[in-house]
Amino acid sequence: MKRNRPPVPPAYAFAAGMLRPTMFALTRRDWHGAENLPATGGFLAASNHISYVDPIALAHFLYDNGKPPHFLGKHEIFETPGVGAILRHADQIPVFRETGHAVDAFRAAVAAVESGKCIAIYPEGTLTRDPDIWPMTAKTGAAKIALTTKCPVIPIGQWGAQAMLAPYGKRPHLIPRPTMQVTAGPPVDLADLYDQPMTREVLREATDRILAAITGIVADLRGEPAPALRFDARAHGLSATGNFKKKGRGR
């Protein structure tokens, strides 16, 4: 069922008008689960992160199903000439990772959800470092927003974007035309955690439930079981953010 999209800022409409035809021309789409997106009200669209291009695939899925997403993105992108201005005027939310300013993104995300917007978020906080591109251990930011607002959390699994551009890759592969697989699952059940004190243990439990739901969808898309243990970047001496493949990073 195709839904009517709510109004978006002119910069948002401009970006969508540029990117949607490009995605239609360069990719195939295998989309499922749009019926799980809430008909009304704000919510979190929580996805795995496998490629620099998967935000475009995720946005394409959500936008065309009547839920234009507002992303939490690393602040460096917002400082890129041209692109940064579009993002700012399109009501996207910069995240100053690993700094005291990260709370500003949390507050902005909470306000956006409470105003009825879709917030697209990557619980892992960065591209997965798992060698086989499975979801790795996640941060608790998505859980904190969800428990603060009591909004629906829709788990979304993606696969295929990595064939177009490998994690941290710079050279896209367009032949054969890649298929963007995007599936939205039913809301993650967090109701029993809403009225509990927001302790580290409660946030971790909510985070684990969100990531388990995402991982289950990814496993279905890949047609193979997920690893029994999630990859932990810190346990392997890798940096929490940034391109760990660059010389001198993640050591």
Beta strand residue intervals within the chain, DSSP E: 28-32, 43-47, 69-74, 93-95, 118-121, 153-159, 179-184
* Collapsed DSSP state (helix, strand, coil) of residue 111: helix
Residue type, 40: T
pLDDT, tens only, 45-69: 999 999 999 999 999 999 999 999 9
Average pLDDT taken over every residue of the chain: 89
Q: In angstroms, how far is CA 67 from the centroid of its own chain?
A: 14
| Residue 98 pLDDT greater than 60, yes or no | no
Question: What superfamily in CATH does domain 22-163+179-236 come from?
Answer: Glycerol-3-phosphate (1)-acyltransferase (3.40.1130.10)
Residue with tokens 């086989």: 132
Residue with tokens 């592969």: 173
Provide CB contacts within 8 A for 102, sequence distance 6+: 95, 96, 141
Cα(183)–Cα(206) distance, integer angstroms: 21
Q: Count the helices and strands in the chain (H runs, E runs).
A: 8, 7
Cα(224)–Cα(211) distance, integer angstroms: 17
Could you say which DSSP state residue 99 is in?
Answer: S
Q: The whole model's pTM is what?
A: 0.90
Q: Which of 109, 131, 112 is nearest to 123 (CA)?
A: 109
Q: Which of 203, 228, 211, 113 is nearest to 155 (CA)?
A: 211
Could you say which DSSP state residue 97 is in?
Answer: T
Average pLDDT over residues 3-22: 86
pLDDT, tens only, 156-206: 999 999 999 999 898 999 999 999 999 999 999 999 999 999 999 999 999
